Amino acid sequence: MEALLIKVEKRNDVSPSIYFLTPILAIFLTLIGGAIIFYVLGFNPIEALKFFFVTPISDLYGLSELLVKATPLCLIAIGLSFCFKSNNWNIGAEGQLIFGGIVGGGVALLFYGHDGFYVLPIIILSGAIGGMIFALIPAILKTYFNTNEILVSLMLVYVAKLLLDYLVVGPWSNPEGFNFPETRQFSESARMPILFDGLRIHAGIFITLATVFLSWLILYKTYLGFQIKVSGLSLKTAKYAGYKGKTMIIIVFIISGACAGLAGVGEITGPIGQLHRNISPDYGFTAIIVAFLGRLNPVGIIFASLVVALTYLGAETAQIFLQVPKYTGQVFQGMILFFLLGSDYLLFFKIKFLGLRKNEL
Amino acid sequence: MNTKLIISKISKIYPGCIANDKVSLEFGSGKIYALLGENGAGKSTLVKILSGVVKPDEGEVFLNNENIKLNSPLDAKKNNIGMVFQHFNLFETLSVFENLSIDSSKKNEELRLQVNDILKKYNFKIDLDIPVLNLSAGQKQKVEIIRCLIRNPKVLIMDEPTSVLTEQETDDLFVSLKKFSQEGILIIYITHKLKEVLSLCDEVAVMRKGKVVSVSSTNEEKIESLANKMVGENLSTIKKKINNFKNSEEILKISNLNFISDDPYETNLINLNFSLKKGECLGIAGISGNGQSELFQILSGEIITESTSIMFRQKEISKLNPRERREYLMAFSPEDRISQAAVPELKIYENVALNNFKSSNFFEKGLVNEKKIKEHSKKILSNFSVNTDNVELKSQFLSGGNLQKLIIGRELITSPELLVCFNPTWGLDVGAINYIHETLININEQGKSSIVISTDNDELLRLSDRICVIYKGKLSKIMDASTVTPEKLGILMGGGSID
């Protein structure tokens, strides 16, 4: 019997600069992977990549679209970083986004026809609260009944989706809408202010930027942030230090739910302007990739959200110019995650080949 | 069978440290050799080289005048070198026999006959068909030894074999080892326990900083001479004064401590009651896994139980978490210093901030006061002679001894009334052990109390005023340390009783 002996060893000396450079390596590898895929499909790989990654942002409108897509991604990913840093695996940001959208949208419909500066803040706040409440479900089930938050939060995504479906088809559907599955268009007072005429970029970006700053402050300058960091590195130590584990789980879920809810309400009051079946192209799931690509670091997440937002735009351009399905975007997102996890593995472990050896036992 | 093993000029260099520096030794069968040294002296590296786990940078090994290449553990097995490591390599849920048959090429029937012969010959009493997890540590070690004996070893290397054994199990082991030696198996015994060297071995090689500093016959040596060779300096040890605590004030009273765990790997605690006086040190002995970890967590507040009453300085604190207990001037030093008492990835000052007591002002109004934490950390580093003054250093770069000094310092700098520590010197070198022991004796002299839970009896006899033993979750009666002998402790630790 012959066996190839492979040994995996942990590395102890990972330098911080390489830690933050590997995401860039992952993006580079994704580009190479993408080029190969396009080549196999019969396209000139350089041309195709240009259509994918350069054409979409070669004019002002494109840049604005990039920010429109990056705004929710960044916001959700920031929220998720609180959970992930403290070892809480909230996979259901998509559901929290939708539920935030539902609550915010409901309030917007309630204020239909109202004018007043107070309308939009109330809607935004109710969206955040909606996301929070929806994130509280897996948090409470985890703390008091020991359920697995990955499963619960993931399954709740479908609950939110079906609830939204029911509302826009049934009770909330537009009375003048010819039975289309959508609500009325919200009033002007319930819409995010547009920043530039003719572009879709809206005031939501300021909410995102403020959240990034606030998160940085909380994570690196407060006792709460310190507790999150310690819990993420060692739950045993957190227990020994006397941190209130249950309270912390609730807090990080509330923060991440609120962020997802804000993203949802930002979408429906921003570019969409009403509720319908597809208020999110899986931002809540894609944001998981953004969070890890950004190394759970607020600044890193800003850059990561721009890169991943580009895959959304590129997919649309590629669909128009190359007639490939827009799901190519998800292929690219998948590749980014794959290469990131792959290079992380090689970053933290080294693999030793001990050569072929005869087993004589 | 006449075996001769020669190690010639073996060197192994790791980045930043020379683990073995031109080590040359000769061994011949019929004798038991001790390899003695502090942690980090290079014993383990040498053993790993002999067992094929680590390749030397230079040097050769000769077995019966044949130059052998040990590139992998399989090569060691081929050359009949057997090895029993400190940590067992057994599958807990498989039966004893399954564990033995896994790496044997023999047919099951044949193997069973051979194993039964071995059991009979050495008077080992082990049921081959029960899962390994039901065995005591001593029995598990026997399984490892049988695993080596199956291969008819010429050389048997034992790495710190008694660290998990009771006094009686240790005696048993020594009887077996002497028998093996008479049968011509060459035995190399790795240890840092001096008494064992003198009672078991014929020759002793002392290692220090990667070099062999002395080879001698054990009847020429005494404990003091070996200790000085090992450490390379003359150790001064302070002795504890004998105190009478009859009139001292009672500081801690535990009553009705019960703990029933859902986890089959944890130990249930059954009706523990004890109290502690001001300035007193209570030692709790026992073989690991008899409930020490659960007891520590209940004392620290990591586990809260319903029935238990803990009165500390006349206040009921049994429902408080560790941080709240610290406010009442308790301090805790857990067994696992690497992954519980400190986080290796965090910097020294961040690890100091884990003990956030109210008057520290580490976190004012929820914000991190980095300056204050760093000042406080600097104070700990200098007061407790930690070998660095860089508070930004990640604690993973501290040696075990320095890390433990940092942790004990962090806990003691707040002048707590009670320190609970669990295996405070486990795995440390003699210098660090001495320092920690002096520190613990000092706090008692300042009128502060301590509870030391330890698996090291010498440590307990040195530190404690009163001693008891925990066995299967129950506490023995508490005895005055002056009346306790290692033999008495051994009997209690093995579940026996004394009057």
Q: Which domains does chain A show, CATH number per domain?
A: 68-350 (1.10.3470.10)
Beta strands in B350-478 (DSSP E): 363-364, 367-368, 418-422, 449-453, 466-471, 474-475
> Which domains are delineated in chain B?
4-231 (3.40.50.300), 250-493 (3.40.50.300)
The distance of B368 to chain A (nearest Cα, Å) reads 5
Judged by average pLDDT, the poorest of A32-46, A295-309, B12-26, B333-347 is: B12-26
Give the nearest chain B residue to A224 (CA atoms): B366
Distance CA B283, CA B280 (A): 10
At residue B86, the 3 state secondary structure works out as coil
**Which residue is it, tokens 């078991």?**
B200
Distance CA A336, CA A61 (A): 26
The answer to whether the predicted template modeling score (pTM) of the entire model surpasses 0.80 is: no
For B343, the closest of A223, A233, A359 (CB atoms) is A233
pLDDT at A279 over 60: yes
Type and span of the H or E element at A31:
helix A16-40
Cross-chain Cβ contact A237/B350 below 8 Å = no
Cross-chain Cβ contact B367/A221 below 8 Å = yes
Beta strands in chain A (DSSP E): 2-10, 349-358
> Contact at 8 Å (CB) between A5 and A355?
yes
Q: Per residue of chain B (499 residues), what is the pLDDT tens digit?
A: 688 899 999 998 876 567 888 999 999 888 899 998 876 678 888 888 998 888 888 999 998 888 888 888 888 888 889 988 877 888 988 999 999 998 788 888 899 999 999 988 888 888 899 998 888 888 888 899 999 888 888 999 998 888 777 778 888 889 989 999 998 899 999 887 788 888 899 999 998 878 898 899 988 888 778 877 877 655 555 567 777 777 789 999 999 999 998 877 788 999 999 999 999 999 999 887 889 999 999 999 999 988 889 999 999 999 999 999 999 999 999 988 888 899 988 999 999 999 887 777 888 888 899 999 999 999 999 999 888 888 988 888 887 888 999 999 999 988 899 999 999 988 777 778 888 999 999 999 999 999 999 988 888 988 999 999 999 899 999 999 888 888 888 888 878 887 6
The distance of A289 to chain B (nearest Cα, Å) reads 24
For A234, the closest of B74, B340, B350 (CB atoms) is B340
What average pLDDT does this structure show over A172-201? Answer: 91
Cross-chain Cβ contact A236/B336 below 8 Å = yes
How many CB pairs below 8 A link A and B? 72
**Which residues 445-464 of chain B have a CB within 8 Å of chain A?**
none
B55 CB-near residues (< 8 Å, 6+ apart): B49, B70, B71
Distance CA A29, CA A23 (A): 10
Reading the block at residue A50, the tokens are 């240009």
Cross-chain Cβ contact A361/B301 below 8 Å = no
Tell whether B390 lies on the interface with A, counting CB pairs under 8 A: no
Selection from B51, B52, B42 nearest residue B11 by Cα: B42
pLDDT at A281 over 80: yes
For A236, the closest of B103, B339, B356 (CB atoms) is B339
The distance of B367 to chain A (nearest Cα, Å) reads 4
**What residues of chain B lie within 8 A of the CB of A12, using their CB?**
396
Give the nearest chain A residue to B106 (CA atoms): A361
Cross-chain Cβ contact A223/B72 below 8 Å = no
How many CB atoms neighbour CB B105 within 10 A?
A: 9
Tell whether B341 lies on the interface with A, counting CB pairs under 8 A: yes
| Residue pLDDT, tens place only, A48-88 | 999 889 999 999 999 999 999 999 999 999 999 999 999 99
**What residues of chain B lie within 8 A of the CB of A86, using their CB?**
none
**What residues of chain B lie within 8 A of the CB of A361, using their CB?**
103-105
Strand B17-28 versus strand B4-14 pairing type: antiparallel
A1: confidence class by pLDDT, cuts 50, 70, 90: very low
Answer with the residue of higher pLDDT: A144 or B339: A144
Selection from B360, B12, B50 nearest residue B189 by Cα: B50
Give the nearest chain B residue to A244 (CA atoms): B321
The distance of A149 to chain B (nearest Cα, Å) reads 21
The distance of A317 to chain B (nearest Cα, Å) reads 44
Tell whether B480 lies on the interface with A, counting CB pairs under 8 A: no
pLDDT at A355 over 70: no
Cross-chain Cβ contact B340/A354 below 8 Å = no
**Which residue is it, tokens 């508070």?**
B391
Give the nearest chain A residue to B367 (CA atoms): A222
ipTM attached to this prediction: 0.80
At residue B179, the 3 state secondary structure works out as helix
**What residues of chain A lie within 8 A of the CB of B355, using their CB?**
241
